[in-house]
Amino acid sequence: MVTNPPYFDSRIAAFRHSIRSINDECDKFQLCVNLRDELLSQHMELKWFFACIEEVMQAECTQYKKAKRHWLNGKNTDVDKKRWELFLDVAKSGAALKRECLAPLTKASGGRGNEKVQHYQWAFMGLKYCKVLGTAATRNPT
């Protein structure tokens, strides 16, 4: 039987307790929406982090670059290959997210630097959110 890590169990129990303590169904749903948004933000943040780490590995580790070519060409049958493939898939997804979010977030920062973007963690709100911010910044320059 697969068990959850203790951290999961405590968070699940806390969420269950919170949702059971609410009588109004609309408020329960809002709690679900809030947790969904929090989890998606964490997911986006982790994908972004994978992409950043992979960039460092690529730039700083010659052996990594050589091994990566073998993994991508299917020449390596090592058991660890599957773990690297999974890592690379997540990093690739994060890199795509970074590329797509960069222009809208640059517009949203309004030339004031990254402080505002970092403070509000807009990059981790998802691609749709980044695009909406970019569009709003274009339509309403400050």
Question: Per the confidence metrics, is the pTM higher than 0.85?
Answer: no
- Is 102 part of any domain? yes
- Is 29 part of any domain? no
- Is 63 part of any domain? yes
Domains held by the chain: number: 1
- Is 25 part of any domain? no
- Is 105 part of any domain? yes
| 65, 68, 123, 131: CA torsion to nearest 10 | 110
Residue 61: domain span: 44-139
Q: What is each CA distance from 10 to 7, 28, 31, 56, 141, in whole angstroms?
A: 5, 19, 17, 34, 45
Q: Tell me, what's the pLDDT at 104? A: 79
> Residues with Cβ < 8 Å from 47, sequence gap 6 or more?
90, 93, 94, 97
Which structure tokens are listed for 118? 């970092």
- Is 97 part of any domain? yes
Q: Tell me, what's the pLDDT at 110? A: 74
- Is 18 part of any domain? no
> Residues with Cβ < 8 Å from 4, sequence gap 6 or more?
12
Instruction: Return phi, psi of residue 7, to 5°.
Output: -60, -40
Largest CA distance in the chain: 58
Run means of pLDDT, 10 residues per run, the chain, 142 residues:
77 96 97 92 89 95 88 67 86 87 78 69 73 79 66
Sign of CA dihedral 91, 92, 97, 102: positive
Q: Tell me, what's the pLDDT at 91? A: 93
- Is 107 part of any domain? yes
